[in-house]
Amino acid sequence: MSAKIRQPHSPISGFIFHLHPRKVAAETIRFTLSFGLGGMAATLFLVLAVTGVLQLLSYSSDSTAAYQSIILMYAGSSLAGFIRNVHHWAGNLLVIVALLHLLRVYLTGALGQGRRLNWLIGCTLFLLVLLANFTGYLLPWDQLAFWAVTIFTNMVTYVPLIGDPLGELLRGSNEVGPATLANFFAIHVGLIPPLILILLIYHFWLIRKAGGLVRSRNGEAHAPMVPTVPTLISREAAVGFGLCALLFLFSALVDAPLDDIANPGQSPNPAKAAWYFMGLQELLLHLHPVFAICIVPLLMLLLLAMLPFLRQAALEPGIWCGGSRGRWTAASSFLAGLLGVIIWVIVDEFVFKISGSEHFLTPWLSRGIVPLLSLIFISGLVYRLLRLRKSPPSESVMAVTLLCLGIVCGLTVIGIWFRGPGMALGFFFLKG
Ligand code: HEM
Ligand code: HEM
């Protein structure tokens, strides 16, 4: 029997009880259920909002002064440089943390009734986090920023029909220049953060409405409850403060990158997109642009958005990957995707392109339809084989999803570390 729990009353606890109920199921505060990833993402957003506002004191969004304003942040023993570092590393870390949070939500089967809408909100939040990072990337107005944004806005123009106007809308003119900086600054500061905040409030409300985090079927029936204050709150505080301590320490030791001032006349070699878009840039080296920039990413986004609506995709709630066999399937499919795409890139680079066999068919076929159909065929084969081995449908869908994730991660890793001057393939990261 649960004893009557006395709760302290103060303005702080008043705020806490707006976010949380007074008691939560003991099962849901297990660290290994959520790894505190949602809380980490929320902490990082808070840090970004505070450091972002502080940066407004020293940053100038005028293209003739932007770079200099960043240099000045590091002059003397000013705190501004440290704040920029924190903002930079927090923004980049948020991409990774949000992706891991997305994975944990899916793999612990938290997509059932009452959580579907929250999954879609989450997907939108993830896209907004990417957009926030991308628009922030240009603001230092250095060579890295200028050329990364040039590459990405050029990639956008490959989208059929709307590509050119979309590229122009982003750049605010024909090419990246002062109008782009003004555009990106306004979007970065005035549009994306309020949108994220509104969606986050809705995100938290939907979690409360769903009765808290996901529980196992066993836990639903007879769930021991624990008081939010202090049990849940002390854990959330430990995760939040621990993360901030590590982030601040790292930012004190490692400066955010800054190259020479933007020079539209001289492109660096290699000119690379921001790291979270390197998978797309890598794909562009192998596929027809319409497939690389539009069809393949859209199909993957569609698969992601549809996961909660596919009856076969619902994993056992509250249990990672549906059980130990599922965990093994998940790990091996991810690795298969990662290794498979590495082999494909090497074969394409050193066999197909050199032998000229890529020109055997029209580019639409050899660099578009054939690779896409091969991916669909391999995914179908993985699904079928697992079903024949008596794996439940949810485990088989999970295998296909993690195979795709492995492919995306493989392409990103190759793009970041294994592409050098002229986008040649090699161990360039070893040369520093
Ligand atoms: C999810 C939210 C946000 C993310 C992911 C994000 C990310 C970034 C990134 C990656 C940069 C480039 C940093 C660099 O390398 O120099 C940046 C710059 C900047 N951000 Fe944000 N930011 C966010 C929210 C905000 C907010 C709320 C503000 C202000 C209200 C803000 C103001 C700025 C300013 C002024 C810069 C330019 C200074 C600089 O480059 O250091 N940001 N942001
Ligand atoms: C800025 C980004 C995000 C923040 C700050 C955030 C925050 C949170 C927090 C604090 C929780 C509860 C604790 C936890 O699960 O760790 C949560 C749960 C949840 N999040 Fe997010 N989230 C973000 C992005 C996402 C994304 C990208 C997705 C999926 C596409 C997502 C889907 C969900 C769902 C479905 C739940 C409920 C999980 C359950 O019932 O067990 N969120 N989120």
In a domain? residue 1: no
One domain for residues 321 and 257: no
pLDDT tens digits, 73-86: 999 877 999 999 99
Least confident of 12-16, 41-45, 172-176, 280-284: 12-16
Instruction: Give the relative orientation of helices 163-171 and 178-186 as an angle to the nearest 10 degrees.
Output: 90
Find the angle CA(238)-CA(239)-CA(242) to the nearest 5 degrees.
75
Helices (H) and strands (E) in the chain, counts: 20, 2
Task: Name the more confident of 199 and 428.
Answer: 199
Q: Which bound ligand lies closest to the C-alpha atom of 27?
A: 2
Domain boundary among 265, 280, 313: 265
Dihedrals φ, ψ of 115, to 5°? -120, -5
Domain boundary among 233, 265, 297: 265
> What does the alpha-carbon distance between residue 273 and residue 150 come to, in Å, rounded to a whole number?
8
Flag whether pLDDT at 219 surpasses 90. no
In a domain? residue 6: no
Local structure of residue 276 (DSSP, 8 states): G
For residues 199 and 121, the answer to whether their CB atoms sit within 8 Å is: yes
One domain for residues 342 and 255: no
For 64, counting Cβ atoms within 10 Å of its Cβ (0-12 exposed, 13-18 middle, 19+ buried), the class is: exposed
For residues 418 and 425, the answer to whether their CB atoms sit within 8 Å is: yes
Residue 19: the pLDDT is 87
Dig out the tokens for 11 from the structure: 């303005």
Dihedrals φ, ψ of 392, to 5°? -65, 155
> What does the alpha-carbon distance between residue 286 and residue 300 come to, in Å, rounded to a whole number?
17
Find the angle CA(260)-CA(263)-CA(268) to the nearest 5 degrees.
70
Band of pLDDT at residue 2, cut at 50, 70 and 90: very low
Q: What's the mean pLDDT when you consider all of the chain?
A: 93
Flag whether pLDDT at 354 surpasses 80. no
Local structure of residue 25 (DSSP, 8 states): E
One domain for residues 49 and 146: yes
- The amino acid at residue 359 is H
Local structure of residue 261 (DSSP, 8 states): B
Band of pLDDT at residue 151, cut at 50, 70 and 90: very high
3-state secondary structure of 265: coil
One domain for residues 138 and 228: yes
Mean pLDDT of 353-381: 85
Q: Widest CA span of the chain, in angstroms?
A: 76
Percentage of the chain lying above the pLDDT 90 cut: 86
pLDDT tens digits, 264-287: 999 999 999 999 999 999 999 999
> What does the alpha-carbon distance between residue 174 and residue 170 come to, in Å, rounded to a whole number?
10
One domain for residues 30 and 175: yes
Mean pLDDT of 358-367: 79
In a domain? residue 186: yes
For residues 104 and 327, the answer to whether their CB atoms sit within 8 Å is: no
> What does the alpha-carbon distance between residue 110 and residue 90 come to, in Å, rounded to a whole number?
26
3-state secondary structure of 240: helix
Residue 11: the pLDDT is 76
CATH number at residue 150: 1.20.810.10
**Ligand 2 site: residues with CB under 6 angstroms?**
34, 37-39, 41-42, 45, 98, 101-102, 105, 110, 115, 118-119, 122-123, 125-126, 129, 200, 203, 207, 210, 213-214
Percentage of the chain lying above the pLDDT 70 cut: 96
Flag whether pLDDT at 333 surpasses 60. yes
For residues 382 and 333, the answer to whether their CB atoms sit within 8 Å is: yes
Band of pLDDT at residue 432, cut at 50, 70 and 90: low
In a domain? residue 238: yes
In a domain? residue 3: no
Mean pLDDT of 403-428: 96
Domain boundary among 232, 265, 298: 265
- What Rg do the C-alpha atoms of the chain give, in angstroms? 24
One domain for residues 121 and 229: yes
Band of pLDDT at residue 1, cut at 50, 70 and 90: very low
Flag whether pLDDT at 40 surpasses 60. yes
Instruction: Compute CA distances 247 → 126, 138, 244, 302, 366, whole Å.
Output: 21, 22, 5, 34, 46
The protein residue whose alpha carbon is closest to atom 37 in ligand 1 is 139
> What does the alpha-carbon distance between residue 315 and residue 174 come to, in Å, rounded to a whole number?
48
Flag whether pLDDT at 179 surpasses 60. yes
One domain for residues 229 and 175: yes
The protein residue whose alpha carbon is closest to atom 29 in ligand 1 is 52
**Could you tell which of 94, 97, 101 is best to mutate to test the pocket of ligand 2, judged by most ligand atoms within 8 Å of the CB?**
101
One domain for residues 303 and 320: yes
Mean pLDDT of 89-116: 96
Flag whether pLDDT at 104 surpasses 90. yes
> What does the alpha-carbon distance between residue 345 and residue 239 come to, in Å, rounded to a whole number?
39
In a domain? residue 258: yes
One domain for residues 205 and 345: no
Q: Which bound ligand lies closest to the C-alpha atom of 205?
A: 2
Mean pLDDT of 98-122: 96
Number of structural domains (the chain) is 2
Among the listed residues 297, 273, 289, the one whose alpha carbon sits nearest the alpha carbon of residue 152: 273
**Could you tell which of 105, 117, 206 is best to mutate to test the pocket of ligand 2, judged by most ligand atoms within 8 Å of the CB?**
105
Residue 8: the pLDDT is 56
Mean pLDDT of 22-37: 94
Q: Which bound ligand lies closest to the C-alpha atom of 83?
A: 1
Mean pLDDT of 138-162: 95
Residue 372: the pLDDT is 96
Residue 360: the pLDDT is 67
E strands along 179-296, which residues?
225-227
Band of pLDDT at residue 3, cut at 50, 70 and 90: very low
In a domain? residue 2: no
One domain for residues 233 and 276: no
pLDDT tens digits, 287-322: 999 999 999 999 999 999 999 999 889 999 999 999
One domain for residues 219 and 128: yes
Among the listed residues 37, 1, 2, 27, the one whose alpha carbon sits nearest the alpha carbon of residue 223: 27
Flag whether pLDDT at 12 surpasses 90. no
Give CA 363 to chain center in angstroms. Answer: 31
**Could you tell which of 139, 197, 261 is best to mutate to test the pocket of ligand 1, judged by most ligand atoms within 8 Å of the CB?**
139
- CA 52–ligand 1 middle distance (angstroms): 5
In a domain? residue 7: no
Range of the domain at 319: 269-432
One domain for residues 236 and 111: yes
Residue 361: the pLDDT is 73
